[in-house]
A and B are shown apart, each in its own frame.
Chain A
Amino acid sequence: MSMDQAVTAEGIEQAITEFVSGRVKAEVPADEDLFASGLVSSMFAMELVVHLEQAFSVQILGDDLKRDNFRTVQAMTALVARLRGVEQPADA
């Protein structure tokens, strides 16, 4: 994924969706609860953290490192957007 396409909230969401569905080999709607559906094992959960940090050059620390922030593609998008200071739609 290139950083250029990832600077908008939309681009971030698209990039995260691509990564997650590639790894779980299934379509992943942005609001699907990844933990409830058993898609995300505890090991993969941490890979998500590391991946987001590397792909978007952010550091996810302290209170941000909680499962609620990784529960859905939407939640991850909001987290990355906030850490990168990207404008987000009010409902994101």
Chain B
Amino acid sequence: MGHTPSDTIAVVGAGVMGRSITALALGRGVHVVLVDVSEEVLGNARAEIAQQLRHGQFMGAFPGSPAPGTLTTTQSTSEVADAAVVIEAITEDASLKARVMADISSTVPAGVPLITNTSGIPIAELAKSVQRPAELAGVHFMNPAYLIEMVEVIRGPQTGDDAMAAILSVLERLGKKTVVVRDAPGFVTSRLLHPMINEAARVVAEGTASVEAVDRLMHGCLGHPTGPLRTADLIGLDNLADALRLLAERTGNLTFEPCELLMEKVRRGDLGRKTGRGFYDYGKVLS
């Protein structure tokens, strides 16, 4: 494509996270090949990424205002082969991820690190599906990835030094601060945040306080930036429920199972900001 390979990253999955990671990279002058399974999703992704780039610029998230990278969207994973690093950001479903990781791993040459953006599936578990487990690590970007400065980096038991160094250098190029942790279900941030959101929803369901009151307390008393339920809407309630279920299965802690209020919203299709309504109403969806 005329770019030096080191200037291009691949992102697989063009949902909430794939988009915001892509916007981050483009805003920092890095080219992106973005893969998803439908042309419709990719079309929506292109439009939203264009808005996110403006949003990032608006918030001063791209220091030095480099010329934005170019975006290539595709339905074919074979196009990721030339990237310097591949970031997997597909639906939080362990068997689906296993399949896609195996596919990516057989497409990219040795030496290209694989990153999973899973919220909490252990890296060791995903490593079973790839050809070179030493080249796989977790990088847990937060949404919106182009605004939140820090990422959680998960070093799996088999992750090698070379892959770690390469991944940390890509993250530095993207302007991210990093904290490296060991592998465990939910790592650190999802292990703490997801159950808190689940409990916040239970508090609302039990009638102790309204959605707004819960968030105002967590913000005003405890300094949480938005409150847990606004954060839930930003994450996407379907993804949150998936991640909680996986966390419950892998820790054996049944209180982590997504609570009824959360499930009810997911069944109704009220998935948070991405559908215009979750715990809060957002009016028209940002398109």
Contact = CB atoms under 8 A, between A and B. Distances in A.
A65 B283 contact: no
A47 interface: yes
B57 A65 contact: yes
A46 interface: yes
A56 to B, nearest CB: 15
Contacts of A47: 282, 286
A47 B52 CA distance: 11
A65 B273 contact: no
Given A42-B147, A50-B51, A65 B58 contact: yes
B58 A67 contact: yes
B54 interface: yes
Contact of A49 (B54, B226, B282): B54
Interface in A43-63: 43, 45-47, 49-50
A50 B286 contact: yes
Interface in B51-70: 51, 54-55, 57-59
A46 B55 contact: yes
Contacts of A49: 54-55, 58
A66 B147 CA distance: 15
A46 B283 CA distance: 14
B58 A66 contact: yes
A43 B55 CA distance: 8
B234 interface: yes
Q: Is the interface of A mostly helix, strand, loop or mixed?
A: helix
Nearest to B282: A47
B253 to A, nearest CB: 31
A45 B273 contact: no
Contacts of A23: 283
Contacts of B147: 42
Q: Which of B226, B230, B286 has the most CB of A within 10 A?
A: B286
A22 B144 CA distance: 24
A41 interface: yes
Contacts of A45: 55, 58-59
Nearest to B143: A43
A65 B286 contact: no
B54 A65 contact: yes
A62 B54 CA distance: 9
B74 to A, nearest CB: 27
Contacts of B58: 45-46, 49, 65-67
Given A23-B283, A41-B226, A65-B57, A46 B273 contact: no
Nearest to A25: B212
A43 B280 CA distance: 14
Contact of B286 (A41, A42, A46): A46
Contacts of A42: 55, 59, 147
10 contacts: A41-B226, A42-B147, A43-B144, A46-B54, A46-B286, A47-B286, A49-B54, A49-B58, A65-B54, A67-B59
